[in-house]
A and B are shown apart, each in its own frame.
Chain A
């Protein structure tokens, strides 16, 4: 089976979706790149986005469907809403999720509300592909995750894949979905790889995944935090602590059953979220668990999150900011008095 990086898997899913449906288009800043200078040195797509994820699409599918934009996010996000309402399946790239602020209205008030507010006649089948995450020394305005910002809004679906397999399967579904989907790509995961079958079927949104079976403690890990959960779980085997790792993969809809079943089995939960803690996915999942699994819990839910600060730039501070396998391990040991 071919090994693919997350970056390649996303590119594959885009190419496949472009081939299968001529209504799929892509808009964003420098998603091709080199506009106005195409004649030089074969730089038809000089960038393919800042991380090169969309490289090759312009050459394969042309400028009508792969459209470079100006730095006008509110403009092309709004255009995606209208195009989606009237028959296209636009994918728009928000280069960093940190730029959400300049075009949030189009998502929060238009994309999310059209279907509901206008009586359910019209759907908005658009996808926002965006880059999240700390660990790049990219500072406070290029490192946030902001998962809960979008998850808070009824009418938006939110997906955050961990590995290449899920990235491809979930992006295929997101593009086929008839509602607006925020598809979050973690910059520190782009170059990680795993086996991805060429004929991978779309993975339904709202289905989580058990990444590791275990019996003592459930670790609900959000996106890149699965890496640390896996490291911690391996380490904890030495202490005879068996961890079950749940990767919800999508947050709206959320696979509540998968989480509850695991919590009922283990009675102990650690939630790991790279976001700031207030009103986060971690606090949301924690509250759902206490509402739905209270009598099964052997102790209080533990959240491991970033602190309530912007993402700092300097390496020691950023490393402190990001949750770690050590923090997860310590929490598990405390839970089990090990």
Chain B
């Protein structure tokens, strides 16, 4: 049985991510939000379930679809929102935007916009932990589409060869942009890809936060005990479009309706009684999450814009030389 603190954390995060994404989608539609937005409605259980199994300072990498990972990694929601709005108090000082929400102080090595850029970087962090006898876990998040990219394969091969404990966490959400996963996969099961590297792999229901949590816990222990990387596939459904503004016409209505039956938030609510949580508890979580989300948007709305010249900071080669 999970302790109450953990349960509170899991439910709060699930609702916070869902409410946050719903809100930012609405704002993008009605007003506008600068740049590209890739929301993660449908990914909540994977973000929260994996992070619930991690320690606060464990290493992760994320992608352009990172809001859920950042929230579940306990990044400051005010700062996340401020970043998406391009304000100077944003989590990356307004330099990154929605696609690059990342806080190194929370163990985020980065949210990379290049597909499959993350796995090799996480391999490096895991290598560092191994060399220094460190205790932090290393987890790379990526999508089903990323498994076709060389960077993923090279990282997987090295991780196995070097006996590096780390998790390759693949979110199989049915689509890579407008391309269906069942079209782009060469193997019957996505996780079969790990066989090429003789890597241990598990698949789980990415809509069930508790299954994700348990499987991640098991994989972390096994990976550490056996000093080996493990591939985790979590199946879910990308309710969001590839980006805000995507017509999603290629996602059939029946498919969406079917997927809704397994909506991760719905499943978590259905599961509540198994964890001795009452309707009141759920309402409390919802209210809590909504308050957090509301105050984050209120905060971001009032934040100052950076100055143009702030763009020049933190490039470690000044060019051209200042002439006085």
Which residues of A are interface residues toward B (Cβ below 8 A)? Answer: 29-30, 33-37, 40-41, 43, 46-47, 50, 68, 70-75, 98-99, 101-102, 136-142, 277-278, 307-310, 312-321
| Bound CA span A319–B148, Å | 36
Kindly list the 6 A-B residue pairs having the minimum CB-CB distance in the complex, ordered from nearest.
A320-B308, A36-B183, A36-B180, A313-B97, A314-B94, A314-B86
Q: A37 touching B252 by the CB < 8 A rule? A: yes
| Bound CA span A319–B305, Å | 12
Q: Which of B112-171 contact A (CB under 8 A)?
A: 112-116, 145-146, 148-151
Q: A34 touching B250 by the CB < 8 A rule? A: yes
Q: A315 touching B150 by the CB < 8 A rule? A: no
Please give the distance in Å from A154's CB to the nearest CB on chain B.
26
Out of A101, A277, A317, which one reaches B311, CB within 8 Å? A317
In the complex, identify which listed stretch (B215-223, B263-271, B315-323) lies at the interface while the others stay far away.
B315-323
Q: Which of B156-214 contact A (CB under 8 A)?
A: 176-184
Q: B319 touching A47 by the CB < 8 A rule? A: no
- If the complex has contacts A36-B184, A71-B176, A142-B36, are A316 and B113 also in contact, measured as CB distance less than 8 A? no
Closest residue on chain B to residue A41 by CB atoms = B249
Which residues of B are interface residues toward A (Cβ below 8 A)? Answer: 34-36, 86-88, 90, 92, 94-97, 99-100, 112-116, 145-146, 148-151, 176-184, 247, 249-252, 305-312, 315, 317-320
Q: A30 touching B177 by the CB < 8 A rule? A: yes
Please give the distance in Å from B44's CB to the nearest CB on chain A.
24
| Bound CA span A50–B177, Å | 9
Please give the distance in Å from B62's CB to the nearest CB on chain A.
13
Q: Which residues of A contact B113 (CB under 8 A)?
A: 98, 139-142
Q: B95 touching A35 by the CB < 8 A rule? A: no
Q: A35 touching B183 by the CB < 8 A rule? A: yes
Q: Which residues of A contact B176 (CB under 8 A)?
A: 70-71
Out of B180, B308, B315, B318, which one reaches A35, CB within 8 Å? B180
Please give the distance in Å from B261's CB to the nearest CB on chain A.
19
User: Could you give 6 example pairs across A and B, Cβ below 8 Å?
Assistant: A35-B184, A70-B148, A70-B184, A138-B35, A140-B95, A142-B36
Q: B308 touching A319 by the CB < 8 A rule? A: yes
Q: Which residues of B contact A321 (CB under 8 A)?
A: 308, 311
Q: A34 touching B95 by the CB < 8 A rule? A: no
Q: A137 touching B97 by the CB < 8 A rule? A: yes
Q: B177 touching A142 by the CB < 8 A rule? A: no
Q: Which residues of A contact B318 (CB under 8 A)?
A: 308
Q: B177 touching A309 by the CB < 8 A rule? A: no
